[in-house]
Chains A and B, each alone.
Chain A
Amino acid sequence: MTNPKRLLSSQTPDFDWYRKRLFVSACIVLPVFAALFFRLLYLQIIEGDYFKQLSENNCIRIQNFDSPRGLIFDRNGVLLVDNQPSYDAGLVLKDAKPLGQALQHLATYLDLSEDEIEQTIERKKSLAALKPITIKENISRNLLGFLEANRYDIPGLVVDVRLKRRYVYADTTAHILGYLGEVSSAELAGERFMAYRRGDIVGKYGIERSYEDILKGVRGGRQIVVDARGRLSTVLDTIASVPGSNLFLSIDATLQQKAESLLSGTVGAVVAIEPFSGKVLAMVSSPSFDPNHFIDGMSREQWEQLSKNRQRPLENKAIQAEYPPASTYKIVTAIAGLEEGVIDEKTTFNCPGYLKFGDRDYRCWRKGGHGTVNVIRALAESCDVFFYQTGLRLGVDRLATYAKAFGLGAPSGIHLDGEASGLIPTSSWKKKKTGVPWQMGETLSIAIGQGYNMVTPLQNALVIAAIANGGYLMTPVLVERIESPEGDILEETRSAVKGKMAISAKTLGLVQKGLWEAVNGPSGTARLARLDNIGVAGKTGTAQVFSRKSSGSDEERRALHLRSHAWFVAYAPFSSPKIAVSVIVEHGEHGASAAAPIAAEMIKTYLETSVGKAIIDEAKQQG
């Protein structure tokens, strides 16, 4: 034990010093408490009457103003989403005295039974005593006027104006725009929604979700003094709400509607983009849903119908669904073959209708075979044997390198949640995944886009866009411009080039020629996409849901859900591409018959309306 009485050295506690400090501390504590006491004296005695009066009226309350959410337009300024005022009649329980009388009047005016109102109140009573309980939403303007005129009959009545989101094009834009909903507990727990409160409405899906920060604005409110009947008498302090910014999408509403009508009745997706800018012109997933239903509230049956539907209406198939690319993938195989020098423009393979490899016959879609084909004809007529041969010479890993250069197997980076990445297999991927080494035979399937390959319709649109624009991989753009509510441009996207692929002009030229022949050649597979006066280049694809071997050859007799998916990717005009389209029709069987006409219609609509119109407008201005 230390002996405090021993002589002080520089290393022992100096208790006198501590005692002095403790004393000084006491001398600091006293005046601080005196200050607190004087403050009490001031508030309770000098200002006491004033505060007493305020408390008796218990009159200072807070009213929140929601900020108007930003509007969303298409590229031509066509309104896609706006806000409509909705009037809600509510009751502040504390002010509603006598309650019986208030309820009676309220029931008469709102055309509800007193029981119903009491039930509503019972359900929502746990809210703070001063928060109005919403009794009836969305009352008419007539009723609103009537209530205002008769509000003396109903103490505690509050009519709230709420801005309700309205999706002008309903189903047509649902997957792009998304919808709103109440912020969830899980969201509140995360950092992104830190500033939100329970009950706040936030974007749950689509643009509404990914641009939440920009669309939201800043909530406002005011401190008000109310009288004994709960009516406003003075405003103490107001903070104006700040509306959210407006978005101008790259979408063309006309084309979007066209795409929806073309897909109507089918399950599938269409993506159209500007090849040189990466701007998405249209993106439709079918079947769709009406986001307005999310605003008004859905019945349980309605929700189950949406969420349990086997056609998955809530899924944005353009970015979330993965399909085997089928023959559209031959574009990638052709480019890889040409660039790696395993084939050139003069290389020909003989197609007798199958390729014997190992102990198995790998068949071409044309039973009789294509005879001797070069790369251009192989693309035009989609000869499987040619690409089996090319694939064998390349090997799966070299092929995968090119596929990945086209952005396949990874999310494209479109600013929407839930984008799928697709899958591009490599030998090491398979070894890791299954433990079994890669089989050469599997390379044959991969080379014609079957097997493990998976792409999204958007990724396929970017592949064809890259062929059209000379080898540039684009990041898809959905939002062209962000404007402040006053109309100042806050942000603008002209184009988003992700990278230039190392593909020679010669290679691109050969592939483009093949795709042109597919649509315009004498025996091309995509002749249904041909348009008068507009040069279209494209590639069909038929993605097997089951392999040909196991499912037999008679496709007509197969159950619908076993039928192949129909693909078509195309761009036009051939000489100066303005639009690239990717179409998938689930179980549509043949790309040529089910998907190609849809793509052709899209191209025609776009070139004849938007671009054509712009050229005419320009000519008019100059003239």
Chain B
Amino acid sequence: MVGFTTTIPLEILIAAGRPPADLNNLFITDPDPQGLIEEAEIAGFPRNICGWIKGLYGTVLRHGIGEVIAVTEGDCSNTQALMEVLCLQGVKTIPFAYPYDRSRETLALEIRKLSDHFGVSAAQVAEARAQLERVRAKVHEIDRLTWDENRVSGEDNHLFQVCTSDMKGDPAAFEREIDEFLRAAQTRAPFSESLRLAYIGVPPIITNLYPSLEEMGARVVFNETQRQFSMPYATADLVEQYRRYTYPYDVFSRLDDIEEQIALRRVDGVIHYVQSFCFRQIEDLIVRKRLKVPILTLEGDRPGPLDARSRIRIEGFLEMLKARKPC
């Protein structure tokens, strides 16, 4: 199993026949994610560091993962120190960087280095890409059924898209799961909630956010980052695919995508999720300046169900959206 700290060119691991594991997914689906964080804190990680970084550390140790691809640029720079601490524990770490300037040459070099490390050729990677594209297209259909036909819940939309980062470690099994879900979803009665929301920012550490929103009469019809993990754009080659992928680059390209999707999906309001102690919290001020729809900034720290304070904020926000919405 090869772990990674955020989405990387998955095609390389598939081509190499190495089971991929998005450490974030392993962490948040662990029966005791809090325990993984506590393990990192006992090891010496500061309290005022993002819960995901600590969770990833605990996950690597708990699962005995021997090799980790660490995304040191384009995601969280804390990953660099995480990588160093893992090295100390004897874990083999491979750095990968998304160049901030989106340089085609630099990204191509990074992808080539990663391919060389796993000993795969460009042709093998292209073959893996074709296989993954088929699975991704099916997840895109789940996304379309969410906003266009209203047959998919915010949580299912989130889960299927977020899992495209590692295809649950087994693309063929994941594809079968998707096929089964699509068969059932296509004939379901559509949802009829009164409010349509966009969820932007990193995936939530809150475990029951989507069902809680639906209980309150609002459904998420756009999961920004999760959709990006599913590689939503048609691109000519692998390098272009990971250049178009917005998440690791500047906030402005993300906002172009968000604005387009908000209009397309007829969104009433945006939840901007920010992780405590994450640099992306700063970007909230840019998001608020740029987007013209109402925004609720929701901060999460540790894994667990929605707390009373966040619930109060969400209820107030939804009430405001209802009052603003023309009847």
Q: Do A and B come from one complex?
A: no
Chain B contacts to A: CB under 8 angstroms: none
Chain A contacts to B: CB under 8 angstroms: none
